[in-house]
Amino acid sequence: MTAAVDLDSGGYSGTYKLIGQSVSLDFANLVSYRDTPRQHDWLKPESNLDVWRAEVGLDANGQDCEHVSVVSFRERLAQVFLAVADGAVPAQSDLDVVGAQAATAWSQSCLRMSPRQREIEWETEGLCLCGILALDAVRLLTSSTLMSRVRACDECRWVFLDTTRNRSRRWCDPADCGNRSRQRRYYSSSRAVD
Protein backbone atom coordinates (compact mmCIF):
# COMPACT_ATOMS: atom_id res chain seq x y z
CA MET A 1 0.00 0.00 0.00
CA THR A 2 1.27 3.45 -0.91
CA ALA A 3 1.40 6.16 1.76
CA ALA A 4 -0.64 9.32 1.29
CA VAL A 5 1.15 12.57 0.46
CA ASP A 6 0.40 15.34 2.96
CA LEU A 7 -1.41 17.75 0.64
CA ASP A 8 -4.01 20.21 1.92
CA SER A 9 -7.29 18.54 0.95
CA GLY A 10 -9.41 21.62 1.57
CA GLY A 11 -12.13 19.51 3.18
CA TYR A 12 -12.05 16.78 0.52
CA SER A 13 -12.31 13.34 2.13
CA GLY A 14 -9.88 11.53 -0.20
CA THR A 15 -6.10 11.28 -0.20
CA TYR A 16 -3.42 11.76 -2.84
CA LYS A 17 -0.83 9.02 -3.38
CA LEU A 18 2.16 8.62 -5.68
CA ILE A 19 0.98 5.52 -7.55
CA GLY A 20 1.95 6.32 -11.14
CA GLN A 21 5.52 4.96 -11.02
CA SER A 22 6.53 7.96 -13.11
CA VAL A 23 6.69 11.62 -12.13
CA SER A 24 4.64 12.73 -15.16
CA LEU A 25 1.91 10.18 -14.41
CA ASP A 26 1.83 11.22 -10.75
CA PHE A 27 1.58 14.85 -11.87
CA ALA A 28 -1.38 14.06 -14.13
CA ASN A 29 -3.01 12.41 -11.11
CA LEU A 30 -3.21 15.71 -9.23
CA VAL A 31 -6.93 15.61 -10.04
CA SER A 32 -9.02 12.90 -8.41
CA TYR A 33 -12.14 11.56 -10.14
CA ARG A 34 -11.61 13.75 -13.19
CA ASP A 35 -14.81 14.83 -15.00
CA THR A 36 -17.15 13.47 -12.32
CA PRO A 37 -19.16 15.17 -9.56
CA ARG A 38 -16.49 13.92 -7.10
CA GLN A 39 -13.64 15.71 -8.93
CA HIS A 40 -11.00 17.30 -6.69
CA ASP A 41 -8.06 19.45 -7.81
CA TRP A 42 -5.03 18.79 -5.58
CA LEU A 43 -3.29 21.95 -6.84
CA LYS A 44 -5.75 24.02 -4.80
CA PRO A 45 -4.41 25.63 -2.71
CA GLU A 46 -1.39 26.57 -4.81
CA SER A 47 0.97 25.73 -1.95
CA ASN A 48 0.24 22.04 -2.61
CA LEU A 49 2.47 22.26 -5.69
CA ASP A 50 5.51 22.98 -3.51
CA VAL A 51 4.63 20.07 -1.20
CA TRP A 52 4.21 17.76 -4.21
CA ARG A 53 7.51 18.88 -5.76
CA ALA A 54 9.37 18.19 -2.53
CA GLU A 55 7.70 14.78 -2.19
CA VAL A 56 8.77 13.68 -5.70
CA GLY A 57 12.23 15.25 -5.40
CA LEU A 58 11.81 18.11 -7.87
CA ASP A 59 13.23 21.07 -6.02
CA ALA A 60 12.22 24.51 -7.21
CA ASN A 61 15.79 25.51 -8.07
CA GLY A 62 15.09 25.98 -11.76
CA GLN A 63 12.93 28.41 -13.66
CA ASP A 64 9.40 28.40 -12.38
CA CYS A 65 6.30 28.20 -14.53
CA GLU A 66 3.28 30.26 -13.58
CA HIS A 67 0.72 28.25 -11.62
CA VAL A 68 -1.87 28.64 -14.37
CA SER A 69 0.62 27.21 -16.90
CA VAL A 70 1.36 24.27 -14.61
CA VAL A 71 -2.36 23.50 -14.25
CA SER A 72 -2.90 23.78 -18.00
CA PHE A 73 0.06 21.49 -18.71
CA ARG A 74 -1.24 18.96 -16.18
CA GLU A 75 -4.54 18.83 -18.06
CA ARG A 76 -2.77 18.25 -21.39
CA LEU A 77 -0.69 15.44 -19.89
CA ALA A 78 -3.77 13.86 -18.34
CA GLN A 79 -5.62 13.90 -21.65
CA VAL A 80 -2.68 12.28 -23.44
CA PHE A 81 -2.21 9.57 -20.80
CA LEU A 82 -5.94 8.82 -20.51
CA ALA A 83 -6.22 8.46 -24.28
CA VAL A 84 -3.25 6.07 -24.32
CA ALA A 85 -4.70 4.08 -21.40
CA ASP A 86 -8.03 3.81 -23.23
CA GLY A 87 -6.35 2.63 -26.43
CA ALA A 88 -7.26 5.84 -28.26
CA VAL A 89 -5.13 8.29 -30.19
CA PRO A 90 -4.33 11.40 -28.12
CA ALA A 91 -5.41 14.73 -29.58
CA GLN A 92 -2.66 16.21 -31.73
CA SER A 93 -3.04 19.57 -29.98
CA ASP A 94 -2.21 17.90 -26.63
CA LEU A 95 0.76 16.07 -28.14
CA ASP A 96 1.98 19.34 -29.68
CA VAL A 97 1.99 21.07 -26.28
CA VAL A 98 3.85 18.19 -24.61
CA GLY A 99 6.27 17.98 -27.54
CA ALA A 100 6.99 21.71 -27.53
CA GLN A 101 7.71 21.67 -23.79
CA ALA A 102 10.00 18.64 -24.23
CA ALA A 103 11.83 20.23 -27.17
CA THR A 104 12.51 23.37 -25.15
CA ALA A 105 13.69 21.29 -22.21
CA TRP A 106 16.00 19.19 -24.42
CA SER A 107 17.54 22.33 -25.86
CA GLN A 108 18.32 23.55 -22.33
CA SER A 109 19.73 20.21 -21.09
CA CYS A 110 23.23 18.86 -21.41
CA LEU A 111 24.95 15.50 -21.08
CA ARG A 112 26.97 14.89 -17.92
CA MET A 113 28.83 11.96 -16.44
CA SER A 114 26.85 10.61 -13.48
CA PRO A 115 28.36 11.16 -10.03
CA ARG A 116 29.26 7.47 -9.84
CA GLN A 117 30.79 7.75 -13.34
CA ARG A 118 29.02 4.62 -14.52
CA GLU A 119 26.75 6.25 -17.03
CA ILE A 120 26.14 9.44 -18.90
CA GLU A 121 22.87 11.14 -18.08
CA TRP A 122 20.89 14.21 -19.05
CA GLU A 123 21.39 17.09 -16.64
CA THR A 124 18.04 18.80 -16.16
CA GLU A 125 18.93 21.12 -13.29
CA GLY A 126 17.59 24.59 -13.93
CA LEU A 127 14.66 23.46 -16.11
CA CYS A 128 11.15 24.60 -15.34
CA LEU A 129 8.76 22.04 -13.87
CA CYS A 130 6.76 21.66 -17.10
CA GLY A 131 9.95 20.91 -19.02
CA ILE A 132 11.04 18.19 -16.61
CA LEU A 133 7.58 16.63 -16.70
CA ALA A 134 7.47 16.82 -20.51
CA LEU A 135 10.79 14.98 -20.78
CA ASP A 136 9.49 12.24 -18.51
CA ALA A 137 6.23 12.00 -20.46
CA VAL A 138 8.07 11.77 -23.78
CA ARG A 139 10.27 9.01 -22.34
CA LEU A 140 7.11 7.01 -21.61
CA LEU A 141 5.31 7.83 -24.83
CA THR A 142 8.23 7.02 -27.13
CA SER A 143 8.92 3.63 -25.56
CA SER A 144 6.53 1.03 -26.96
CA THR A 145 7.16 -1.14 -23.89
CA LEU A 146 6.33 1.61 -21.40
CA MET A 147 3.50 3.13 -23.41
CA SER A 148 1.76 -0.25 -23.65
CA ARG A 149 1.76 -0.42 -19.85
CA VAL A 150 0.01 2.92 -19.23
CA ARG A 151 -3.32 2.19 -17.58
CA ALA A 152 -6.09 4.16 -15.89
CA CYS A 153 -7.83 3.11 -12.69
CA ASP A 154 -11.33 1.77 -13.37
CA GLU A 155 -12.67 3.83 -10.46
CA CYS A 156 -10.88 7.19 -10.10
CA ARG A 157 -9.16 7.33 -13.53
CA TRP A 158 -5.70 7.98 -12.09
CA VAL A 159 -3.03 6.80 -14.53
CA PHE A 160 -0.16 4.45 -13.74
CA LEU A 161 2.35 2.04 -15.25
CA ASP A 162 1.12 -1.54 -14.97
CA THR A 163 4.24 -3.44 -14.01
CA THR A 164 2.47 -6.65 -13.05
CA ARG A 165 3.74 -9.74 -14.82
CA ASN A 166 0.40 -10.47 -16.51
CA ARG A 167 -0.54 -6.80 -17.00
CA SER A 168 -3.73 -7.15 -15.00
CA ARG A 169 -3.60 -4.14 -12.66
CA ARG A 170 -6.98 -2.39 -12.68
CA TRP A 171 -6.85 0.05 -9.78
CA CYS A 172 -4.69 2.86 -8.52
CA ASP A 173 -4.43 1.10 -5.18
CA PRO A 174 -6.11 -2.21 -4.27
CA ALA A 175 -6.72 -0.87 -0.75
CA ASP A 176 -8.63 2.17 -2.05
CA CYS A 177 -10.43 1.89 -5.37
CA GLY A 178 -9.97 -1.88 -5.47
CA ASN A 179 -11.68 -2.20 -2.10
CA ARG A 180 -14.59 0.01 -3.17
CA SER A 181 -15.06 -2.02 -6.34
CA ARG A 182 -15.02 -5.33 -4.45
CA GLN A 183 -17.48 -3.97 -1.87
CA ARG A 184 -19.85 -2.80 -4.60
CA ARG A 185 -19.62 -6.18 -6.33
CA TYR A 186 -20.30 -8.00 -3.04
CA TYR A 187 -23.22 -5.71 -2.22
CA SER A 188 -24.72 -6.24 -5.69
CA SER A 189 -24.39 -10.02 -5.45
CA SER A 190 -25.89 -10.14 -1.93
CA ARG A 191 -28.83 -7.97 -3.05
CA ALA A 192 -29.42 -10.30 -6.02
CA VAL A 193 -29.65 -13.30 -3.66
CA ASP A 194 -32.23 -11.60 -1.39
pLDDT digits (tens, 9 = 90+) for 113-128: 877 777 877 777 788 9
Identify which of 86-95, 127-136, 147-156 has the greatest average pLDDT. 86-95
Residue 63: give the domain boundaries: 8-193
Counting the structural domains of the chain, the total is 1
Strands (E), the chain: 4-5, 16-17, 31-32, 40-41, 110-113, 120-123, 150-152, 159-161
Cβ-count burial 64-81 (b if 16+ within 10 Å, e if not): ebeeeebbebbbbbbbbb
H or E element that contains 67: helix 67-85
Confidence (pLDDT) at 186: 46
CATH number (domain holding residue 166): 1.10.3300.10
Mean pLDDT of 161-166: 91
Confidence (pLDDT) at 71: 96
In a domain, 3, yes or no: no
Q: Round to whole Å and give the CA distance between 42 and 49.
A: 8
In a domain, 156, yes or no: yes
Nearest to 130 by CA among 113, 159, 108: 108
Q: Sorting pLDDT into bands at 50, 70 and 90, what band is 176?
A: low
Confidence (pLDDT) at 24: 98
pLDDT tens readout for residues 21-74: 999 999 999 999 999 999 999 999 999 999 999 999 987 666 677 889 999 999
Q: Quick check: helix, strand or coil at residue 137? A: helix
Nearest to 152 by CA among 2, 13, 33: 33
In a domain, 2, yes or no: no
Average pLDDT, the chain: 87
Long-range pairs of 175-184 with CB within 8 A, sequence gap ≥ 24: 175/1, 176/15, 176/17, 177/153, 180/155, 181/154, 181/155
Q: Round to whole Å and give the CA distance between 10 and 108.
A: 37
In a domain, 149, yes or no: yes
In a domain, 1, yes or no: no
Confidence (pLDDT) at 3: 82
Confidence (pLDDT) at 60: 64
Confidence (pLDDT) at 187: 52
Q: What is the pTM of this model?
A: 0.87
* pLDDT, greater one: 116 or 129: 129
